[in-house]
Every structure is written in C-alpha cells, then in structure tokens.
C-alpha cells in the first residue's frame, strides 16, 4: 500500500449548488462536473466557471468528452 506523505493542497473551492454522484472529470485545462439538480458545469484550473448547462434531470453518470462534444447521461434519459 502506498501513501502520500504530504497533506493535500487545496487548489480551488467551488459549489455546484447540489450534490454530485457523477464525480469530477479531469480535463487538460480544468474539470467537468454534473450534479443531482441536473446541471453540468465546466470549470477552469482555478475553479472559474467557463459554462453551465441546466439539463433538467440528475446527471446520473460521469460525463465524457468525445472530440469537441460533451456527453452526459441524465436520470431523465
């Protein structure tokens, strides 16, 4: 078992205004996160909001990127 000897370093803090079961998706220049309120967000490396899309139903699975498109599955289909 390996472990890190240094404590974690907080890079940024951001609230999506709802819980997330989908988790973060690391991108080269930031992250994607979907939440239970049905919002998909893209953040830059500093935690700044790049864009937000309201999908209307919980983002039920981890979003993915294909080319220049983002694919996100919701509880509503």
Q: For 42-54, how does the pLDDT look when each residue is reduced to its tens digit (9 = 90+)?
A: 999 999 999 999 9
Residue-level pLDDT at 2: 64
Both tokens of 44, joined, read 């830059």
| Stated pTM of the model | 0.82
Residue-level pLDDT at 5: 82
Look at 7 and 49; give whichever has higher pLDDT. Answer: 49
Instruction: Please give the DSSP secondary-structure letter assigned to residue 74.
Output: B
- pLDDT exceeding 70 applies to what percent of the chain? 96
Mean pLDDT, residues 35-44 taken together = 96
Query: Taking all residues of the chain, what is their mean pLDDT, rounded to a whole number?
Result: 90
């Amino acid at each position: 078992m390996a472990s890190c000897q240094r404590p974690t370093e907080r890079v940024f803090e951001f609230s999506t205004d709802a819980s997330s079961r989908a988790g973060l998706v690391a991108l080269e220049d930031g992250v994607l996160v979907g939440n239970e309120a049905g919002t998909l967000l893209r953040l830059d490396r500093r935690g700044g909001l790049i864009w937000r899309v309201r999908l209307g139903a919980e983002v039920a699975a981890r979003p993915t990127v294909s080319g220049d498109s983002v694919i996100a599955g919701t509880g509503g289909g």
